Amino acid sequence: MSRIGKQPISIPEKTTIELVDGSVVVKGPLGELKRSVKDVISVRVSDGEVFVEPKRDDVQALWGTYASHISNMIRGVNQAFEKKLVVEGIGYKVAMSGSDLTLNVGFSHPVTLKIPEGLTVSVEKNVISISGPDKEEVGAFAARVRAVKKPEPYKGKGIRYDNEVVRRKQGKKVVA
């Protein structure tokens, strides 16, 4: 039995949920999110709550997964998800140019990433803030930005998450 799937998901005031052609559509103050649902999972809305139930016994894992997805969709259209990245290193710079994010992180050329539609990206000194209603999209873009220059273990230079701890290694020892 799924502990997450058994819980009813409450719907906040300014949020509407519709079931359209095997998809769940959630509309709220920050936008609209849509996700298709497999036919082995039943989703029903009643009395300001969403109930997710499996149609067969062998889909227990999907039950909790879809309940979490719908819960994240409801939370996302009411309050945006946010990830912060810190750029660390001498001469490392980040700039916004229109709908592109330009990173100068020690390569011979600047790296330009296109910002996906629906996401809001802001840059303050060496901190990149990525926010949006879709949790997966925010996390995927943050991971793409971090993958440009992962933090290295000797000096800690690179792009890391705000709460990430970079495990430092000891450098070479000088024999005198």
Same topology, domains 3-78 and 81-161? Answer is yes
Q: What is the distance between the alpha carbons of residues 40 and 44, in angstroms, rounded to a whole number?
A: 13
pLDDT by residue (tens digit) across 13-56? Answer: 999 999 998 899 999 999 999 999 999 999 999 988 999 999 88
**Fold annotation for 3-78:** Outer Surface Protein A; domain 3 (3.90.930)
What is the predicted pLDDT for the residue at 12?
A: 92
- CATH code for the structural domain at 81-161: 3.90.930.12
Query: Please, which pLDDT band fits residue 135 given cuts at 50, 70 and 90?
Result: very high
Q: Is the pLDDT of residue 61 over 90?
A: no
- What is the overall mean pLDDT for the chain? 92
Quote the tokens at residue 128. 């990149």
Query: Please, which pLDDT band fits residue 1 given cuts at 50, 70 and 90?
Result: low
Structural domain boundaries of the chain? 3-78, 81-161
Taking residues 138-143, what's their average pLDDT? 96
Check the CA dihedral 115-117-122-128 and report its sign.
Answer: negative
More confidently predicted of 173 and 66: 66
What is the predicted pLDDT for the residue at 60?
A: 83
